[in-house]
Amino acid sequence: MTRDLSITINGEEREFAVAEFRSLLDALRNEIGLTGTKKGCDVGDCGACTVILNGKPVNACLVLAVEADGGAVETIEGLQAAPDKPSPLQESFMVHGGAQCGFCTPGVIMMAKALLDDNPEPSEHDIRFALAGNICRCTGYTKIFDAVRAAADEMRKAPAP
């Protein structure tokens, strides 16, 4: 059984039909073609598929696409202000070495965005706690923490217009 859905994805309203059992992750990757969101485990253990649904970070593999009907989803592809302009958070991950293999990176960045949206001045513990469900196997997290901390500082200095 398929259902017709309407979801605002990165600010653009998308209408599509999807099987009722399909996860939001599979819908984003396979129906919409947004493959930036990664599938690391498909059971909610690794955080690689983190997206922001109606303002809250979720594991897209644990949400059915039909649950997002009528809602708004932000993915890694929607973070840039313009095609050649990474957001301050993305820029910070580049500068501070927060991405190595890059497979966990979209999920980590979306989780960090959700954190900073909610708490622009996070403590070290806040950053660690926010990223507790995002597995990174390359960096030892040191440079991820550096990147989030520096992005928070940067964004406070120059708030988004």
In order of 7, 51, 97, 124, 146, the CA distances from 57 in angstroms are 16, 6, 23, 19, 21
- 16 lies in the binding site for other proteins (CB under 8 A): no
Is residue 55 left, alpha or beta, with left meaning phi > 0 and alpha meaning psi from -120 to 50? left
Q: Which one, 56 or 137, has the nearer CB to other proteins?
A: 137
Smallest separation, CB 116 to other proteins (Å): 15
- CB of 15 closer than 8 Å to CB of 53: no
DSSP 27: I
Among 64, 72, 95, 155, binds other proteins (CB under 8 A): 95
Residue 147 identity (one-letter amino acid): A
Q: Which one, 120 or 129, has the nearer CB to other proteins?
A: 129
- 71 lies in the binding site for other proteins (CB under 8 A): no
Q: Contact residues for other proteins (CB under 8 A)?
A: 21, 29-30, 33-43, 45-46, 48, 75-77, 79-80, 86, 90-91, 93-106, 109, 127-129, 131-132, 134-145
